Copies of this chain bind each other. A is one copy, B any other.
């Protein structure tokens, strides 16, 4: 297992690792939810964990065991999805941050593998923890941290289980990606609406879809929004490396700041 993993250490080893890290922790936060017919339910968690492990190994930041579940009420229409209320996730994350802070991990990178949906409650928890514990918490989200590489690689827009996620999973966990079942469902042009952080036009803000809307959508597309058949393992690797490199930069910057 890669990275400076907290769970593998005795408390004496943990004390040393915390000191060596400069007080920086990485906490991967994902989601277990439908990802179309070709990607596993754990995709968002694999994303968060994969880039976190690599950045921990590269920097010595302490890797915290992951939060597997996120907020995804709109995906409950397809089997296997697990959703937690955001008000509970806020308090749960708040307690994790309070515990880490008590041991000197006062600079925390919250790594989100679930894109826009998790960010809202992570913001609230991060602010609350910053105020209560005097820590620094930043939110690192692949969709917001890959605008440049996504453009360079000429990926299509951010959707769900689309070519970006699929390419990334091909790079990390090819054995559980089923390209033969991938179905394209190109991101629809909706009036004044997009979940792509690079969207340049006027847009309403995101609200998770209503169940009735989502049911129709799930039936049509098998849960995919985008063009997974365009996925490319090599692009996935470049995408992965870009994100890891960005996380390394963020950690180095955190180390330069005071708490």
Interfacial residues, chain A to chain B (CB-CB below 8 A): 6-12, 14-15, 18, 32, 34-42, 45-46, 64-66, 68-69, 73-74, 76, 78-92, 95-96, 99-100, 102-104, 112, 119-124, 126-127, 130-131, 134, 136-141, 144-148, 176, 178, 181, 191-192, 198, 200-208, 210-211, 223, 246, 249-250, 253
Contacts and interface: CB of A to CB of B under 8 A. Distances in A.
Given A8-B42, A10-B178, A85 B91 contact: yes
Contact of A124 (B66, B86, B95): B86
Given A32-B65, A40-B10, A65-B69, A147 B95 contact: no
A35 B6 contact: no
B145 A203 contact: yes
Contacts of A202: 144-148, 246
A51 to B, nearest CB: 13
Given A121-B124, A200-B198, A205-B123, A10 B32 contact: no
B246 A9 contact: no
Given A201-B147, A202-B145, A202-B148, A81 B207 contact: no
7 contacts: A12-B181, A32-B65, A73-B127, A127-B208, A139-B205, A147-B203, A148-B202
A207 B32 contact: no
Contact of A92 (B11, B88, B102): B88
A121 B37 CA distance: 32
A62 to B, nearest CB: 9
Contacts of A76: 99, 102
